[in-house]
Chain A
Amino acid sequence: MLVEFLFELRARKLPVSTHEWMALMEGMALGLHESSLDGFYHLCRTLCVKDIAHYDAYDDAFLAYFKDIHQDALKLTEELRAWLANPRALDGLTDEQRRAMQALDLDKLRALFEQRLKEQRGRHDGGNRWIGTGGTSPFGTGGANPSAMRVGGGGGRSAMQVADERRFREYRRDVVLDVRQIDVALRGLRRLGRDGAEDELDLDETVDQTCKNAGEIEVVFRPPRRNRVKVILLMDVGGSMDPHAELMSRLFTAASRAGRFAKFRSYYFHNCVYSAVYEDAQFRKAVPVAELLAHSDRDEKLVLVGDALMHPAELLDPGGAAFFSSQNRASGHEWLRRLAAHFRSAVWCNPEPERFWAGTTIEVIASVFAMWPLTLDGLAQAVRYLVRGGERPRVGDPERWMKSMVG
């Protein structure tokens, strides 16, 4: 039965291995799950989910898999019925509380409980209240009702309730990021090499040379290791990018941090790259793209950031950039292709959520540049692609789309 839960987890892209599953079985054989669903929830999460970003998906899978089992088990457990007949909470009550308690006698309470049980099935479909919640419900753990009945294991909150809260949603990988997270993601973008001044003591070599020198100390220096990666960042600003301005500034802050790359340059463009890019976001200092290409190694990493959303004519027609340049004989599409052809590795990060990509100019641009969404996951994949290459993600069917546009 539980194996299906494993596949439920894996279906949600949780990387649970056989190794971990065996550990879970071992743990259950030792009784670490305390023979309860709550215990199992924590045991399984502790052993199989190793990343806070996956907790939410785990909660989701747990809810989907156990929601019915939970109720069936509750219904069938004779132990629970015996327990209901003998509520522990009677001890240590004031007279006033006892009177309140009697107002709701045991039979009534049991009837209410069973009724609530039925409602609970409807909760997932309809939205009623859980047994097992705290607060003032007469049933559950840690509640404030004087005649409360405790249902479920000792002291903690029920797993279903914990799972149902989806507390870990904010830790998901596919949300947009803050500076620190971008920083961490960009750390992958490095290729270390030694060059520059020799100012680091090479201990191994020193020992070697000293030994060869019959014990006469011979000190050897070497240059320290530095990141050799050079990056050019092209950012779309203004217009449809305004909602993403905050995110862009975070990305810029993280990327431009001193000493991160051997060489870091950034330029701005509006909508699409045409014959020139700009050194400032006010578009005053133009740098012709031809010049940019002439001054860039093919090994430099090109990162474009923009929503890639525009009117098709702005991308596909020559002179589409009516706003800036007068003599624009090539289309934006053509300029993008020239950029892509020059650099060995280039990516486009798109702050627009992926679900809006289909059927827009994004598809066309994604066929020129490898494109990922500007999320923690997307950025990490983009960085991996820049360093190691690999498969480009396929977005929609740009050819068909372009034909329908032109035709």
Chain B
Amino acid sequence: MSDVFDQFQGTASYIASEELRHAVNVAVALARPLLVRGEPGTGKTLLAENLASALQLPLIRWHVKSTTKAKDGLYVYDTVARLHDSRFGGEGGGDVRDIARYIKLGPLGEALAAPSRVVLLIDEIDKADLEFPNDLLHELDAMRFRIDETGREVAAVERPIVIITSNNEKELPDAFLRRCVFHYIQFPTRELMSEIVRVHHPDITDKVLDNALEVFFGLRATPRLRKKPSTSELIDWICALNKAGVDLGKISGGIPFLGTLLKTEQDVELLGKRAKA
């Protein structure tokens, strides 16, 4: 295989399925953003961190919130600081006439201005307004933008590797989707899951792992659960079991530390009813 491809093989602490590795490598080779979707807790965000450490590139994070504007990702012109400086004189006596001092690059801007290749994580893009992805189209395509206030052009030296995550809360616009490489992270199978748990708890015994997975997948298979427990919750739960020294094989009736697995009252209630029945 050529060396541009197959750069990412997962890391010691992150087990990626074959399909996911393939998708990542396609995105890297074609220099297109990778859009990752999947149930919460399937390691979408961790993917970017581990990709960065596997390729030994710096990681820049952009956590999108409901109030985030696309322009904030490029740069912010801090007018209030400038106003403050002009009235009271800045610390260190800054030159108020130099607008560039008040331009602060956002995460996307930083990624494009970086002197070498970086990994950019745009986390939970669907949290923002519906139009948000559309506003990023040009910047992600051309990997350059212009700071209107100073006239400065920022262009990427090397196209950053862009990982975008989404929780399926909103439909993303077609024009945006067209430009991405898409991957849906499937919930891990039992085999993959035991590998994942082993990475986080290397000294776990087969028996404990088996028992834990039995309970976990049994719980996920319970019908009408409002929120199914996810990978990260399983790992927390096993951690709690370990710390408390609970042996699952010896416990009868009731799951210890249920609160780490189920997060809504209705689910706990539902499980209680089923246990009684």
Contacts and interface: CB of A to CB of B under 8 A. Distances in A.
Interface of A: 15, 17, 19-20, 23, 26-27, 30-32, 34, 39, 42-43, 45-47, 49-52, 55, 155-156, 167, 184, 187, 207, 210, 215
Contacts of A32: 5, 25-26, 29-30
Contact of B26 (A27, A49, A156, A207): A27
A202 to B, nearest CB: 14
A353 to B, nearest CB: 22
B18 A155 contact: yes
Given A47-B181, A49-B182, A27 B79 contact: no
A167 B19 CA distance: 14
Nearest to B79: A207
Contacts of B83: 207, 210, 215
Given A34-B1, A215-B86, A215-B87, A20 B178 contact: yes
A15 B79 CA distance: 44
Contacts of B172: 50
A13 B83 CA distance: 55
Nearest to A204: B79
B35 interface: yes
Nearest to A217: B83
B180 A50 contact: yes
B182 A50 contact: yes
Given A46-B182, A47-B181, A52 B37 contact: yes
Interface string B12-39: 0000001100110111011010010100
Given A20-B178, A156-B18, 10 more contacts: A23-B30, A27-B30, A30-B2, A31-B5, A42-B23, A43-B26, A45-B182, A50-B177, A55-B184, A156-B19
A50 B27 CA distance: 14
Interface in B170-226: 170, 172, 174, 177-184, 186
B258 interface: no
B35 A42 contact: no
B169 interface: yes
B173 to A, nearest CB: 11
A32 B4 CA distance: 10
B4 A30 contact: yes
B178 A43 contact: no
A210 B172 CA distance: 38
A276 B130 CA distance: 39
A45 B178 CA distance: 12
Given A27-B26, A207-B79, A46 B5 contact: no
A207 B169 CA distance: 34
Contact of B174 (A15, A26, A49, A207): A15
Nearest to A183: B169
Contact of B181 (A31, A34, A46, A156): A46
Given A23-B30, A42-B19, A187 B170 contact: yes
Interface string B121-160: 0000000000000000000000000000000000000000
A46 B23 contact: yes
Contacts of B177: 50-51
B178 A17 contact: yes
Q: On chain B, which size bracket covers the interface? A: 35 or more
A15 B177 CA distance: 11
30 contacts: A15-B174, A17-B178, A19-B179, A23-B30, A26-B30, A27-B26, A30-B5, A30-B29, A31-B1, A31-B2, A32-B29, A32-B30, A34-B1, A42-B19, A42-B22, A46-B26, A46-B182, A46-B183, A47-B30, A47-B181, A49-B182, A50-B177, A50-B182, A55-B184, A184-B170, A207-B79, A207-B80, A207-B83, A210-B83, A215-B87
A20 B174 CA distance: 11
Contacts of B168: 52, 184
Among A23, A26, A210, chain B packs the most CB atoms within 10 A around the CB of A23
B19 A19 contact: no
Contacts of B170: 184, 187
A43 B182 CA distance: 10
Among B169, B178, B179, chain A packs the most CB atoms within 10 A around the CB of B178
Contacts of A15: 174
B1 A27 contact: no
Nearest to A19: B178
A30 B27 CA distance: 12
Contacts of B22: 39, 42-43, 46
Interface in B98-112: none
A32 B179 CA distance: 17
Nearest to A184: B169
Contacts of A167: 186
A250 to B, nearest CB: 11
Contacts of B23: 42, 46
Among A46, A187, A210, chain B packs the most CB atoms within 10 A around the CB of A46
Nearest to B35: A50
B37 A47 contact: no
A325 B41 CA distance: 54
A156 B19 CA distance: 8
A39 B177 CA distance: 21
Contacts of B19: 42, 156
B96 to A, nearest CB: 11
Contacts of A46: 22-23, 26-27, 181-183
Contact of A23 (B18, B32, B80, B169): B32
Contacts of A23: 30, 32
Among B86, B172, B182, chain A packs the most CB atoms within 10 A around the CB of B182
Nearest to B186: A167
Contacts of B186: 167
Contacts of A210: 83
Contacts of B37: 52
Nearest to B30: A27
Nearest to A43: B26
A13 B86 CA distance: 59
Contacts of A215: 83, 86-87
